[in-house]
Chains A and B, each alone.
Chain A
Amino acid sequence: MATMTDPLDPIVVAKDFPLLNRRDRERPLVYLDSAASSQHPSAVLDAMDRYYETTHANVHRGVYALAEEATTQFEAARTNVGRFVNAPRPATEIIFTKNATEAINLVAQSWGRRFMKAGDAILLTIMEHHANLVPWQMLAAEKGLELRYLDVDDSGYLDLSNLDRLMNGTKLVGITLTSNVLGTIVDQDRGLPAIIEAARSAGAVVLADGSQYVPHSPTDVRALGCDFLAFTGHKMLGPTGIGVLWGREDRLDAMPPFLGGGEMISDVRLDGFTPTELPWKFEAGTPPIAEAIGLSAAVDYLRGIGMERVRAHERELCAYAIRTLGARYGGDLRIFGPTDPDARSGVLSLALDDVHPHDVAQVLDEAGVCVRAGHHCAKPLMRRLGVAATARASVYVYNTEADIDALADALEAAASLFARH
């Protein structure tokens, strides 16, 4: 019997994913785009079906048994997701949102509007996803804030040499725990403590974007030391339409509501309203109930595998990919980001000699290999790397070395098709 210390067997895991097992395809499916969105195990789909088939009613305030059961399941999902990231108070510190993007906008619009004033600075990194750039740019334009950026060096690591200078006057730090382009990991073991410490001395709060981290590594908000953590359900085997904001309770308590409407009030009069308590203060309107239950099932599924094993599997697969692709293509294939598998996630941004990433992805598709081509919503980083786009392969629990081999073979087809004779 397999134990939690054995390596994860992706072939066994993949059996749980109906989409990966469809037999009616014209060509094999080699799904290497989980960084954009992951697939779903039956456990997640079944949990959502079961909810719709047996329990659905609007949550909160319902007196009848069905509504009470829906509410119980929804709130249990919240607590379960909170425990997954080791939230000290999972019942109050987990806010359900539409996605990570909305979670970040919530902090910008609520915390940022309340606590930042003209001349204050926001410190971001050049490797942020647009979701952790644009909300701050909007706020900066509105309030006259200064935007500052940590750079990356040529090996794909954050450049922290100017940290103290950049932190001076900074009120908020927004930083991704894993770059969706470079794969660079920034966490309690890799560079984050210096940033947290500098932020503390400057009196700045830290928002971590865990969209590419929480699905792939054991996550402990207490060890991370951040004030806010945003992540998104559909990248961690859960459904679309649900994201999460974790926030330290005292921070969330001090913040005004974000969206207004039902659910988020304790009283409404003609001349105004009184917001309700955490976490509902930030959840205006009917929430994504089935999605929360689906996300909770995804968290159970990942916990069942063990996040240490998830991380170890992806680390091995990434190391294998770097080895294999390096041996086969050498200097003709550029792999962006750190070369040390300990420092990076299973996201591999590739540039094949002078074949355009669009064309690479098109030829790969012919072999059933799904990779993403484009700027990956990280245009400032693309400019920094000096490319318009990359082709990005990304792995998860169901990917195998054979998938990497298929990628390597398909790249060969792209290289030969576009070779200049």
Chain B
Amino acid sequence: MAGLEDLYREIILDHYRSPRNRGELPSPPAHRSEGFNPLCGDEVVVHLLVEDGAVADIKIGGQGCSISQSSASLMSAAVKGKPVTQARALIRSFKAMMSIHEASLGNDGDGEGGEAGGTDEDDAAGGTVSIEDMGELAALQGVVKFPVRIKCATLPWNTLAQGLNEAEAGEQA
């Protein structure tokens, strides 16, 4: 049986208690996107500054449980300053981490991991990152043992994906 220590790793609690990159960015030039989990009311707001094909700055707002908020904090630290292609690779890898295990839990896999709002359309491009190379993000791996919490963990990533799409569409326009 999965224990609480699998879920509430110290890194997660730390990011929950002291969230990184908390705040807002003036928009424009930054882009603001919002994600909601309608079931539990969790909310993540991603402020994104994309410059020269890279995530020049990112700030996080919103409120919710320890898993959604720590995931947002860890995500912001992981993508800040990175090229957009690398950020997208991380999004893909993170969501894969949240769904491979889910499939092995016996779920059909179309529910939590790659749900609507997912942005896997450019799967072919950019590649992925292995769990070993995900650093602190790997601490969220235990979430897959608690299927109802997967949506909490993926909420910030879906919001980031949406933000990147919109920001890039805006840049091209």
A288 adjacent to chain B (CB < 8 Å) = no
In contact, A358 and B17 (Cβ under 8 angstroms)? no
Q: Which residue of A lies closest to B17 (CB)?
A: A420
Q: Which residue of B lies closest to A383 (CB)?
A: B41
Within 8 Å CB of B13, what residues of A? 417-418
Bound complex: CA A389 to CA B43 (Å) = 12
Bound complex: CA A379 to CA B38 (Å) = 10
Within 8 Å CB of B40, what residues of A? 358, 373-375, 388-389
Bound complex: CA A188 to CA B152 (Å) = 43
Per a CB cutoff under 8 Å, which of A356, A357, A362, A418 touches B7? A362
Q: Which of A342-381 contact B (CB under 8 A)?
A: 356-359, 362-363, 366, 373-375, 379
Closest-CB distance, A358 to chain B (whole angstroms): 4
Per a CB cutoff under 8 Å, which of A26, A356, A382, A417 touches B64? A356
Within 8 Å CB of A421, what residues of B? 17
Q: A359-B65, A417-B8 are in contact. Are A388 and B41 (CB under 8 A)?
A: yes
Bound complex: CA A3 to CA B66 (Å) = 49
Q: Which of B1-55 contact A (CB under 8 A)?
A: 1, 3-4, 7-8, 13, 16-17, 39-43
In contact, B41 and A362 (Cβ under 8 angstroms)? no
In contact, B65 and A356 (Cβ under 8 angstroms)? yes
Q: Which residue of B lies closest to A26 (CB)?
A: B1
Query: Which of B43, B64, B146 has its CB near the most chain A CB atoms (within 10 A)?
Result: B64
Q: A366-B4, A417-B13, A420-B17 are in contact. Are A359 and B41 (CB under 8 A)?
A: no
Within 8 Å CB of A417, what residues of B? 4, 8, 13
The number of residues on chain A lying at the interface, defined by a beta carbon within 8 Å of a beta carbon of chain B, is 19
Within 8 Å CB of B1, what residues of A? 26
Within 8 Å CB of B165, what residues of A? none
Query: Which of A358, A363, A417 has its CB near the most chain B CB atoms (within 10 A)?
Result: A358
In contact, A374 and B65 (Cβ under 8 angstroms)? no
Q: Which residue of A lies closest to B152 (CB)?
A: A358
Binary contact track A322-340/B, C-beta < 8 Å → 1, others 0: 0000000000000000000
Within 8 Å CB of B8, what residues of A? 359, 417
In contact, A362 and B64 (Cβ under 8 angstroms)? no
Within 8 Å CB of B149, what residues of A? 358, 362
Bound complex: CA A362 to CA B8 (Å) = 10
Bound complex: CA A356 to CA B152 (Å) = 12
B63 adjacent to chain A (CB < 8 Å) = yes
Bound complex: CA A367 to CA B8 (Å) = 15
Bound complex: CA A420 to CA B16 (Å) = 10
Within 8 Å CB of B39, what residues of A? 374
Bound complex: CA A374 to CA B64 (Å) = 11
Within 8 Å CB of A373, what residues of B? 40
Within 8 Å CB of A363, what residues of B? 4
Within 8 Å CB of A356, what residues of B? 64-66
Per a CB cutoff under 8 Å, which of B3, B43, B63, B66 touches A359? B66
What are 13 A-B pairs at a CB distance below 8 A?
A26-B1, A356-B65, A358-B42, A358-B64, A358-B149, A362-B146, A374-B39, A374-B40, A375-B41, A379-B41, A388-B41, A388-B42, A389-B40
The chain A residues found within 8 Å of chain B, CB to CB, are 26, 356-359, 362-363, 366, 373-375, 379, 382, 388-389, 417-418, 420-421
8 additional A-B pairs beyond A26-B1, A421-B17, beta carbons within 8 Å, are A356-B65, A359-B8, A359-B66, A366-B4, A374-B39, A379-B41, A389-B40, A417-B4
